[in-house]
Structure 1
């Protein structure tokens, strides 16, 4: 089984080579020395990768999963909510999936 972080990295390289901008959304919580929690601030379900096409500025969001990966409830909610906006969204299990998402018109 392919590790999800490898799929993410392969997609980041391929989309960059394709000429578009792509970023990894680092999310999580860390307990600070003072006992308080630091949260990245991104909403639950925010996709792993996001960026924009250089040719027209169209934003895209890509949720990465491995061969057996399934969307969590909050990821499904994000997918439903984002459909209300003129952006590209999809779930990618491979570089080819991601490039199809970015190339949607």
Structure 2
């Protein structure tokens, strides 16, 4: 059943687990939407920005989590953002479940799940 979960469901599970794990975590919304008066609104975050960002209470280290389903693949803009985070040794990775997210955050991993 784990493999059938949507990214949205996995994301909500990760947010809840990290919030209970002495972390603050925030969902980021990236993209453009058309307003009611037909103008485009851009969220302002860079393309490829990970789905979740947060920090560990124990040391205030920031982290970023890109949520993917079991079969989800990274887009080119997500790989570019990963390379940026990697170049600055920032905690980040791809999580396909709660276990992955906890491993990234607890382990201070840099780039977990990116090939």
TM range (shorter): over 0.9
With CA pairs under 8 Å and 6+ residues apart, which has the higher RCO, 1 or 2? 1
Q: Give me the TM-score of the superposition, normalised by structure 1.
A: 0.95
Task: State the number of aligned residues.
Answer: 105
Asked if 1:5 is matched to 2:8, the reply is yes
Q: Which moved more, 1:27-36 or 1:57-66?
A: 27-36
What is the deviation of 1:89? 0.7
1:50 alignment partner in structure 2 = 53
Point out where structure 1 has 5 or more consecutive residues left out of the alignment: none
Question: How far apart are the structure 2 equivalents of 1:32 and 1:7?
Answer: 28
1:83 alignment partner, SS class: helix
Matches within 5 A, 1:19-58: 19-58=22-61
2:68 alignment partner in structure 1 = 65
Deviations 1:10-35 (A, max 9, x none): 00000000011000001221112333
Question: How far apart are the structure 2 equivalents of 1:71 and 1:56?
Answer: 29
Point out where structure 2 has 5 or more consecutive residues left out of the alignment: 109-115
Runs of 4+ in 1 over 4 A off after TM superposition: none
What is the deviation of 1:71? 0.3
2:113 alignment partner in structure 1 = none
2:87 alignment partner, SS class: coil
Q: Which moved more, 1:23-32 or 1:10-19?
A: 23-32
